[in-house]
Amino acid sequence: MHRVPRVTYPGRAACRPWLWFGSLQLPESWPGKSHFLAVESPKSPVFTRGLLSAGRRRFQDMSPFDTIAKAVYRRPLTVYLLSILVPVALTLALLNFRIELDTGILSFRARDEPYAINYDAVLSAVQWGKGHTQYLHGPPSPPSPANASPPTPLSERLQSHASYWLTMVYETRPPGGNVLTEERLAYIAEVERKVRAVSGFEDFCHLGVPLASLNDTSCRRWVPSSTRDQHPPACPGMQCVPAMSLMSFEGMIRRWFIELVEAGSGAANSTAGAEAVERRLEAVGFDPAQASAMAEALAASGWDTAEAYAEMPLTELLALVPSGALTRDFFHIGHEPGWFFDKWYATGESDGSSSGEGVRAVALRSGFEFALPLAGYATNHDRQWEQDRKYRKWAEEFTRMLADGGEIDRGAEKVGLRVLHAGGGISEDEAAALVLGDLLWCTAAFALVTACLFAYSRKLWWTVNAIVGISLSFPVAFFFFRAASASPYVSFLNMLVPFVLIGIGCDDAMLMFDAFRAAIRDDCGDDDGILLPSEDVFAARYAPAARAMLATSLTTAVAFGSNFFSFIPPVRALGMFAALTVCVNYLLVLTLLPAALVIGAKGFKNSFMDAMDECLGLFTRRGYTPRQVNESAPPTPAQKATYSQLDTRDTEPSGGEVELQTVRGKTDDDDEADWTEVGVHDDGFFAPSTAEAKDGGDASIVRVKKEMTCSCADLNASIRANTAAATTWLGDFVIRRKWAIIAAGVLCAVVSSAVIADSLVVARTPPPLLREDQNLQRIQHLLFDVFYTENWSNVRVAFGVAGVDRSGADPNDPTQFGDPVWDGSFARFNDDEYTQLAVLAACDAVTAANETLQLTPSSGSTECALQAFVRDSGGVDSVDWGPGLPSALARWSRDMGRNWRENLGWAGEEGSSELKFITADYFVDLHPVSSTTEEIRRVHDAWEAVVAAARTAMASRLPPGSPVPLVIQACDVWNRMGVEESIGYTARISPAVSAAACSLIMLVATRSWRVTVAAVGTIAIAVLGMLAALVSLGWEFGVVEELCVTLLVGSSIDYCIHLAMAYAEEAPSGAGRDERVKAALAHMAPTLTGAAMSTAASSAMLLACVVEVLVKIGATIVANTAVGFALSLFLFSALMAAFGD
């Protein structure tokens, strides 16, 4: 071990800067051989201590932290480089993993709830069927001769399967105005033309076939593969389907008016004409009152000529349509005309706003369809991920125009419009871009935390390395998280972790700063931070700090990790990732940061020289030994070293560089000195001095070269004085007012409990993903609150599916559901007449209960495949029940029953393999986001009752003792109930687990049940107060709030742990409670203040995000930081002053 000389000036409290001689070992003839170097001041004969003993005192009880501290102290550069290079290597290795950001709602289903299990079971069966069923293309044909050539391979007609959509909504700017003005309608038409003009539109649009060409072989749904992709297409007349918009159907509307006028004007008189028009209107769905009103309006116009209606402005044509008449699809376009308008215009109801503008609509919408398969792909399922990627890449062309500030948005602003858009694929990409954009606010959080650390440490080197350690913890933790999960899907909730953990990492860094300064103060009497304490003193301060950080890191990790009990995968993944990040950050704070502090004090040059010496010894197999110096030879350049000092006596900041040189002695007799001595000038700097020589010969002296450097000594002293005064006042106040503080805390707990019990309600709808002014959030509001919109949520009833095996499924992948588990009793359906009739009876039971199931009005047929087959076959008696039924079903599904073809799941070739399952699709008028929990639960219970009735109907058609096939129903909307039940379960379990674990950690860390009880009481009051505040602000308890509660426990206890450990260690032995509280506050209050400020600053950046979930969590953390900090300083300290050990 190298010797470390230290020089002090008599009468000064400050320890003088260290003179580092690298690996220099003092000559045998030096007095330093006795482990001390005598230093004499020119003005004082007093000798003070110099070199520390080379034989360091070892701790009698060596803890792991002592071992780490000594390794860091002795080999700082090695530890530092390893702490940098290993995380960097893991970060680079992370680039090899595929990562997909998941912003969808499907991944939030509670996978262990019955609703999600049934949903995954049915979806897994459907996926299994797509992968195993071998479809025979085209309608059935007579048997071919044995020597006939194989059938021509068929493919789906090009761009025939609508797979994507683009919905655009036009509202006035500001909202609430009238869209139906000529200028605005003209611009809406221009927008649609611009979308159609995007390069490549024809390669992705839904291609329609003229009615005249439908019978052409090359125009059918399944066409010969060899001719499908010809240019020009083999099917003549294919063109893009017009946009579903008011502008596209304007011509149809005008023709409809012309036909009405011609029917009325061709009558014998006006009355007869009105009656003829009225009959036509009633035939297309108008009720008598509406038909009469519109007929009278047309008759009153004098039956204008057809040309007048061809040229009349669209707004005037629409004014002739009576209110409430646009909710029927009398144009047979798949939507009622009111689909284009807001619901108040379409239904004639009042929106509560003033009207006086005549024809008025607050919003319009239009839609485009895009279809698969693309050229080069056989079906819409052929390499679907490739087709999806190509579509999304092309869609970026028009989404750039539609984005805020884009070409279309700028033009819309000029006419007072806002153009909103949403669509399959593009909305997911937009949401992912917004989430990643919010992650950029993390840069601002880092900047704020960097400022906090620099203000606290006033050392750039310390600050930079603290930030480096915090930054590296995220990719390292994510590497292990990603490697362990083997899932590429990462929830957007994980974006929360950097914002929260930046502040937590800053807390640990500040604690390590304090420990290093305290070691300097213990050893040198000063804490300027530029001195290096001895190894033993460094280890003595390092170990308690490491133990305190271990306790706080464990409590934070447990708080996050308690989300493991959640049934919602993104919440569970967030907890695991955050807990892992806390642990990695703790390891880096134990290694990288203290190594950097030691290097900063020792000097990089000397640390490098020591490391090179050790490496050389290892490579040469000679071990590591300090370099010997020839006592008679002049020092080499390698024996130079640097030091830095702050001296309050200087009027200007000062520093210096120590340079070993051999010079002639300045004494009259050269034989009087042969050893080096260091003296001190009056200005506080080292200077050469002479002394008596032990032997004859030349004198060797150390000459000090003074250099100027920045010093903040005066500022530091002022800050320390003000801090000491503030903490003294705080300690006196807490002790003097402890009973009042405790009473106020108890009162806060009682009031908060009352508020929570009276006002806490479970959220009835999921929280909004984005701020309300964002494109996606605004268009969702308009589509479901402003427009007359039907919901088409699919309820699937399945026969033959018993459950799902998820062992091989990725829980974070919303497209993986597992492997289906088949119902063995359904296998009898392939040959048993009774089982077949039992399934038909179950379908009849569902149809009989249609009125109670809230089916979507325009969803069409509510038959299952077997019912439709029986109907097309002429009735039950016309069907050949028994073993021949599966092949008959297959033939029917390739012809008349093509709409039900995908509801039949075959084990192989359709008709000749086993029929594994049958599904029936029904659509309910519920939305997974906008519908309330009460609505969803009521409809779900109705479906459960119908399924029970279906089971009863099946049992009645089977022989006694026969097994009854299983029938289950599933819908994505039901998952909402599972999420809410999971929230309730997690809200009961996670905080309790977190509180229990934190209490145990506190007990182990402090070894005092009094301290633990005081900390738990403080945390309980903090959590109750925060919950009461959130409830008072109108927050409903949902996924976000449940996550916040688990964070409150872990983040609130950290301050208590630091104060408790300071309470136990900082006061002198035998001190009373008051003295211990004062000592703990004097030691930890500044650190806790800096930690609270950094945590609040980093979390406050969440308030600027557009993802509303992150905003709410950020607000909760900022408020909880302030509350937890205040309660720890006042309430916890008061409890310790009253009841502490």
What is the mean pLDDT of the segment spanning 309-316? Answer: 68
Which residues, 6+ apart, have CB-to-CB distance to 141 below 8 Å?
none
Place of tokens 């986001």: 929
Closest alpha carbon to 928 in 940, 946, 942, 945: 940
Q: What SS3 state is found at 971?
A: strand
pTM above threshold 0.85: no
Which tens digit of pLDDT belongs to each residue from 644-656?
A: 333 333 344 333 3
pLDDT confidence tier of residue 710, bands split at 50, 70 and 90: very low
**What are residue 733's phi and psi, to 5 degrees?**
-65, -45
pLDDT at 10: 35
pLDDT at 322: 62
| Cβ–Cβ under 8 Å, residues 918 and 800 | yes
Q: What SS3 state is found at 170?
A: strand
Using CA atoms, how far apart are residues 844 and 849, in angstroms rounded to an integer? Answer: 9
pLDDT at 687: 37
pLDDT confidence tier of residue 353, bands split at 50, 70 and 90: low
Closest alpha carbon to 321 in 280, 286, 362, 353: 286
pLDDT at 320: 65
| pLDDT more than 70, % of the chain | 77
pLDDT at 64: 86
Which tens digit of pLDDT belongs to each residue from 775-809?
A: 988 988 888 788 766 677 889 999 999 999 988 88
Place of tokens 């290079």: 85
CA angle 813, 815, 821 (to 5 degrees): 105
| Cβ–Cβ under 8 Å, residues 70 and 536 | no
Of 421 and 258, the one with more pLDDT: 421
| Alpha helices (runs of H) in 1101-1139, residue ranges in sequence order | 1108-1127, 1133-1139
The strand pair at 39-40 and 678-680 is best described as: unpaired
The b/e string for 931-949 (b: 16+ C-beta within 10 A; e otherwise) is: bebebbeebbebbeebbee
Q: Is the peptide bond before 232 cis (omega within 30 degrees of 0)?
A: yes
What is the mean pLDDT of the segment spanning 375-397? Answer: 88
By mean pLDDT, which of 306-320, 322-336, 616-630, 1095-1109 is the weakest?
A: 616-630
Using CA atoms, how far apart are residues 1080 and 1055, in angstroms rounded to an integer? Answer: 12
Which tens digit of pLDDT belongs to each residue from 149-206?
A: 545 566 788 888 888 989 999 999 888 888 888 889 889 989 999 999 999 999 999 9
Q: What SS3 state is found at 354?
A: coil
pLDDT at 939: 93
**Is residue 50 scored above 70 in pLDDT?**
no
Using CA atoms, how far apart are residues 424 and 429, in angstroms rounded to an integer? Answer: 9
pLDDT confidence tier of residue 26, bands split at 50, 70 and 90: very low
AA letter at 387: Q
pLDDT at 870: 93
**Is residue 444 scored above 50 in pLDDT?**
yes
pLDDT at 686: 37
Which tens digit of pLDDT belongs to each residue from 916-971?
A: 999 999 999 888 777 888 889 999 999 999 999 999 999 999 999 889 999 999 99
**Other CB atoms within 10 A of residue 481 CB:** 21
What is the mean pLDDT of the segment spanning 680-702? Answer: 38
**Is residue 365 scored above 60 in pLDDT?**
yes
- 642: tokens are 């640097």
By mean pLDDT, which of 149-153, 218-222, 223-227, 609-613 is the weakest?
A: 149-153
Which tens digit of pLDDT belongs to each residue from 51-99?
A: 333 333 333 345 788 889 998 988 888 899 999 999 999 999 988 888 8
| Cβ–Cβ under 8 Å, residues 1102 and 1120 | no
Average pLDDT, the chain: 77
**Is residue 1026 scored above 80 in pLDDT?**
yes
Which residues, 6+ apart, have CB-to-CB distance to 576 below 8 Å?
481, 560, 561, 563, 564
pLDDT at 1010: 87
Please name each of the domains of the chain with its CATH number.
64-96+426-603 (1.20.1640.10), 108-140+792-974 (no CATH), 250-332 (no CATH), 719-759+1008-1141 (1.20.1640.10)
Which tens digit of pLDDT belongs to each residue from 465-492?
A: 999 999 999 999 999 988 887 778 888 8
**Is the torsion defined by CA of 194, 200, 206, 211 positive or negative?**
positive
**Other CB atoms within 10 A of residue 910 CB:** 22
Distances (CA, A) of 848 to 843, 852, 923, 940: 9, 9, 15, 17
Instruction: Report DSSP state, residue 787.
Output: B
Q: At what angle do helices 569-602 and 496-524 cross, to 10 degrees?
A: 30
Beta strands in 1013-1084 (DSSP E): none
- 588: tokens are 């880096």
pLDDT at 83: 92
Q: What SS3 state is found at 155?
A: strand
**Is residue 628 scored above 70 in pLDDT?**
no
pLDDT confidence tier of residue 885, bands split at 50, 70 and 90: very high
pLDDT at 988: 79
**Is residue 138 scored above 90 in pLDDT?**
no
| Cβ–Cβ under 8 Å, residues 1069 and 728 | no
Q: In the beta sheet, which residues pair with residue 172? A: 417
pLDDT at 408: 92
Which residues, 6+ apart, have CB-to-CB distance to 524 below 8 Å?
6, 14, 15, 531, 533
pLDDT at 669: 44
By mean pLDDT, which of 451-460, 481-490, 504-513, 742-751 is the weakest?
A: 481-490
What is the mean pLDDT of the segment spanning 401-420? Answer: 91
Using CA atoms, how far apart are residues 376 and 185, in angstroms rounded to an integer? Answer: 39
| pLDDT more than 90, % of the chain | 20
Which residues, 6+ apart, have CB-to-CB distance to 471 below 8 Å?
446
Closest alpha carbon to 222 in 383, 386, 379: 379
Residue 28 CB-density burial (10 A; 0-12 exposed, 13-18 middle, 19+ buried): exposed
Provide Rg for the chain, Cα atoms: 40
**Other CB atoms within 10 A of residue 1098 CB:** 32
**Is residue 264 scored above 50 in pLDDT?**
yes
